[in-house]
Amino acid sequence: MTAPIRENLSGLDLRAEIDRLRKERNAVILAHYYQKPEIQDLADFVGDSLELSRKAADTDADVIAFCGVKFMAETAKILSPEKIVILPDMDAGCSLEDSCPPEQFKRFREAHPDHIALTYINCSAAVKALSDVIVTSSSAETIISQIPESQPIIFGPDRHLGGYLNRKFGREMLLWPGVCIVHEAFSETELIKLKAQHPGAPVAAHPECPPHIVDHADYVGSTSGILQFAKSFPGDTLIVATEPHIIHQMELALPEKTFIGAPGADGNCNCNICPYMALNTMEKLYIALRDLEPRIEMEEGLRLAARKSLDRMLEMASGTIGKGDLGQR
């Protein structure tokens, strides 16, 4: 697993050092909503997977410090090959990516030659290279609605997002059997108990949740969609069924409202912290900016092959402005 930090950084003002290095390196710090609050607070931009891809494609910076997981930093490198892309901890993976080894995915594709491959962005560059179109949870609806109903589709690696889209659009996409370990851990029994304690509080859920959680949701959407919903729902309490670090943005925007993370089987919401996202720390971000390591490197043939399906997503999602999403149920 991750190598421990061997140097003593205790005397350093990490925030000031990160600010100094960001200027010196002409770096942009991009952070996902699932990052620790201190990292979200110093980032130049915080967003969902689609918004972060767009920022990575557009930035003028020389260095992209990606505070998220590896497939996100790889996406930044695919879209901005001339830039140095650093990830504070190279072990920040994703259970969805792990569930989908490229060789097996290739065989799955070959077994269904008449199908196109619509693939969730939470996968390796090699799986992107084997795909026709990439989607994020905020672009999936816009993109699916542009594909003729007669066109058979395989969807991977998230069977819950794929199943949700199948139900919503009446499609029969063949699903790869991957799951997000974080969203899989919510408990329906505990959620029902929590709803009873807060009568009238709506539930906002990410579509990576299994159907027994999504079925209790008033709103289903990407992280940016959930954030948008939190800013517009009329009540004072919201139950949030996604990784709980997003609640930081809700509390910043709406300090007068109450946001409660949906619980896991022990009744506690902390079991839903993404262990991969949590590997990034202030210390590791500081070292990454100082040393410009660990760095994402990619063989050019693979990058170009992966870029095709990502470019198709960016074109097909062009009407999707972050919030444009799976939406109200």
Cβ proximity to ligand SF4, 72 vs 129, nearer residue: 72
Residues 92, 67: Cα–Cα separation, whole Å: 10
95 binds, among ligand 13P, ligand SF4, none (CB under 5 to 8 A by kind): ligand SF4
Cβ proximity to ligand 13P, 49 vs 187, nearer residue: 49
Sequence-separated (6 or more) residues with CB below 8 Å from residue 223: 32, 33, 34, 48, 137, 206, 242, 243, 246
Q: Do residues 2 and 275 make contact, with C-beta atoms less than 8 angstroms apart?
A: no
Cβ proximity to ligand 13P, 186 vs 286, nearer residue: 186
AA identity, residue 269: C
Cβ proximity to ligand 13P, 18 vs 134, nearer residue: 134
- Pair of tokens at residue 98: 């792990």
223 binds, among ligand SF4, ligand 13P, none (CB under 5 to 8 A by kind): ligand 13P
Least Cβ distance, residue 97 to ligand SF4 (angstroms): 7
136 binds, among ligand SF4, ligand 13P, none (CB under 5 to 8 A by kind): ligand 13P
**Residue 186: how many other CB atoms lie within 10 Å:** 26
Least Cβ distance, residue 261 to ligand 13P (angstroms): 15
249 binds, among ligand SF4, ligand 13P, none (CB under 5 to 8 A by kind): none
Least Cβ distance, residue 122 to ligand SF4 (angstroms): 5
Least Cβ distance, residue 189 to ligand 13P (angstroms): 23
Q: Which residues bind ligand 13P (CB under 6 A)?
A: 48-49, 122, 136-138, 180, 208, 222-223
> Which one-letter DSSP state was computed for residue 263?
P
Beta strand 237-241 pairing with 45-47:
unpaired
Instruction: Single out the residue of 199, 50, 55 nearest to residue 135, CA to CA.
Output: 50
48 binds, among ligand SF4, ligand 13P, none (CB under 5 to 8 A by kind): ligand 13P
Torsion sign, CA atoms 106, 122, 4, 274: negative
Q: Which residues bind ligand SF4 (CB under 6 A)?
A: 34, 69, 94-96, 122, 180-182, 208, 243, 274, 276-277
Q: Do residues 99 and 179 make contact, with C-beta atoms less than 8 angstroms apart?
A: yes
Residues 173, 154: Cα–Cα separation, whole Å: 5
Residues 220, 145: Cα–Cα separation, whole Å: 17
Cβ proximity to ligand 13P, 131 vs 138, nearer residue: 138
222 binds, among ligand SF4, ligand 13P, none (CB under 5 to 8 A by kind): ligand 13P
Least Cβ distance, residue 228 to ligand SF4 (angstroms): 19
AA identity, residue 190: E
Least Cβ distance, residue 125 to ligand 13P (angstroms): 16
Instruction: Single out the residue of 78, 2, 4, 7 nearest to residue 290, CA to CA.
Output: 7
Cβ proximity to ligand 13P, 47 vs 202, nearer residue: 47
